[in-house]
Amino acid sequence: MNPSNSVNIYMERIHRAVDYISENLSEEISLGKLADVACFSPFHFHRIFSAMLGETPHNYIERLRMEHAANEICIRRDANLFEIAYGCGFKSISSFSRAFKKFHGVTPSLFLQKHEKDYHSANIMGSKKAPQNRQEDFDAMEIIKLPAYHVAYTQTFDGYETGIPKAWTKLLQIVRQQGLLNEDCTLIGVPYDNPGITPHARCRYRACITVPSNIILKHGEVRTANIEMALYAIYHFNGTREDVADAYSFIFGEWLLQSGYLPDERQLIELYPMTLMSDCAQNRLKYDIALPIVQMPG
């Protein structure tokens, strides 16, 4: 067997396990179940997962839960703490608080106080600037119901700086070879993690491109998935890569707090033009940042 094909098989199976974890953080996730998802024995799965991701399955799950909780606490400031705890797989506030303090060094309530000012300025891209509260930023926001998308995707766990270019290069090369790349395609990025909380080198990202609904890929470097129809707050970004952090800081630090909406449980996405690669090379970007939202009660 070609060595590169062998590596791809292992990566595909570990990706299955990682996807399962992300989709089931509120549930009990056993080593046996993950091994079944990845089609390995528990004995081999634990060692392969640990070697490929640099942390054990248990530590990986715990980190994702605690990072998810921290994001929820900061973004959903009025959320019930039990709801956050339950959404991270805990059945009691006490066990959640102990785990949170062990991981973050402070209790959930103190975490919010500590990060109330710097969390949104750190935001998803790691900016250290405070929001500017410019009228043009508010004018760049639009509430839109986006359709469902059927996409082919690749994903990376190598951080945004190095992982994103690699993911897009690989995806576009493969879909072009299969004749699936055309001017009607939509390019969609899914940044899963917040470097203000998640270590930069461990941030997860999914590069997606829309494909016909009859295209189903379950194996290999490129797989298919569905993104559901939902209501989004769209920020029409136009700037350089250095400006992206400020855009996220505005969305989460200013607009969201004044909007009358709450962030939905669905994943934030980015919608890119087909000129993405050339735009990145020229460091001039024009794309949409789409935050899923729901109307605030009352």
Higher pLDDT, 134 or 124: 134
Kindly list the distances between the CA atom of residue 114 and the CA atoms of 93, 97, 117, 203, in Å, as whole numbers in the listed order.
20, 16, 8, 22
Q: What gap in Å lies between CA 162 and CA 49, rounded to an integer? A: 21
pLDDT reading at 122 higher than 50:
no
As annotated, the residues of the chain forming the CATH 3.20.80.10 domain(s) are 141-295
Q: pLDDT by residue (tens digit) across 23-50? A: 999 999 999 999 999 988 888 899 889 9
Cα(119)–Cα(43) distance, rounded to whole angstroms? 39
Instruction: Give residue 153's pLDDT.
Output: 95
| pLDDT tops 80 at residue 113 | no
| Average confidence (pLDDT) over 56-60 | 93
| pTM (two decimals) | 0.79
CATH topology of domain 3-122: Arc Repressor Mutant, subunit A (1.10.10)
Listed ranges 72-76, 207-211, 250-254, 264-268; the one with the highest mean pLDDT: 207-211
For residue 52, report the phi and psi dihedrals to the nearest 5 degrees. -80, -30
- Inform me whether the pLDDT recorded for 120 exceeds 50: no
Task: With a cut of 70, say whether residue 1 has pLDDT above it.
Answer: no
Q: Are 278 and 257 in contact (CB under 8 A)?
A: no
Higher pLDDT, 1 or 265: 265
Q: Enter the tokens of residue 232.
A: 């989004």
pLDDT, averaged across the chain:
85
CATH 1.10.10.60 in the chain: give the residue spans: 3-122
Instruction: Give the C-alpha separation, 108 to 113, whole Å.
Output: 9
Question: Domain spanning 141-295: which CATH class is it, in words?
Answer: alpha beta
Q: Report the alpha-carbon distance of residue 150 to residue 173 in Å, rounded.
A: 19
